[in-house]
Structure formats: structure tokens, C-alpha cells
């Protein structure tokens, strides 16, 4: 049964999308983090370029219908495994 409840569509699948997008944009996450650590209080001004690159990367994934479908498939697989075994699996990080 692949019918999705409201919470699955609006919370659980977007959560997977957010985690995966952060992994896929990890170079931009690292660049922004590094800039913030080096800059301190002026990060709002000094790290604007890194922040924009990170946002563009993340939004690119969040707004991609194919990426949503991939994450939905991953969620349904996890849900099916959980229903069969009763054991919740931790998502593996992509390296």
C-alpha cells in the first residue's frame, strides 16, 4: 500500500529530502560553515556568497520533482521494512 498520509507527505518525506540535500550539497555546507567560523560577527556580510551558493543548491533539490520521487521511494521502502520487521532503520549517510 503506497498511499501517503498527510504527515508523510508534509513532514517525513521532506525530512528525508532535507537530509539528502544537505549531504549532496556538503561542499557548500562546509564552505559556509568555514566562512562563518573564520568571520565571526561579520558573517552576515562576509559570507553572503557562500550562503547564496548553499541556498541555491538546497532549493534546487527541494524543488526538483524527480528528487522528491526518489525520496518518496526511499521513504516507502523504509516504511515497508519497518512494517515487516518492527525495526526502525537509521538512514545511511552518503559519502
Does 93 reside within a domain?
no
Does 35 reside within a domain?
yes
Does 88 reside within a domain?
no
Does 62 reside within a domain?
yes
Answering whether pTM is above 0.85, one says no
Does 31 reside within a domain?
yes
Question: What is residue 9's DSSP assignment?
Answer: I
Quote the domain boundaries for residue 35: 4-72
What is the per-residue pLDDT for 40?
81
Does 66 reside within a domain?
yes
Does 95 reside within a domain?
no
What is the per-residue pLDDT for 1?
59
Q: Give the chain's domain count.
A: 1
pLDDT per residue as tens digits for the range 7-62: 999 999 999 999 999 999 999 999 999 999 998 888 888 999 999 999 999 999 99
What is the per-residue pLDDT for 86?
84
Residue 72 vs residues 9, 41, 53, 65: alpha-carbon distances, Å: 8, 39, 26, 10
Does 40 reside within a domain?
yes
CA end-to-end span of the chain, whole Å? 31
Amino acid at each position: 500500500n503506497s498511499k501517503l498520509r498527510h504527515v508523510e507527505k508534509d513532514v517525513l518525506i521532506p525530512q528525508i529530502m532535507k537530509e539528502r540535500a544537505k549531504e549532496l550539497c556538503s561542499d557548500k555546507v562546509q564552505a559556509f560553515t568555514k566562512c562563518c567560523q573564520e568571520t565571526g560577527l561579520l558573517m552576515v556580510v562576509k559570507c553572503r556568497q557562500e550562503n547564496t551558493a548553499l541556498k541555491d543548491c538546497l532549493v534546487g533539490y527541494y524543488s526538483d520533482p524527480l528528487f522528491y520521487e526518489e525520496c518518496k521511494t526511499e521513504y516507502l521502502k523504509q516504511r515497508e521494512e519497518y512494517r515487516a520487521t518492527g525495526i526502525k532503520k537509521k538512514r545511511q549517510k552518503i559519502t
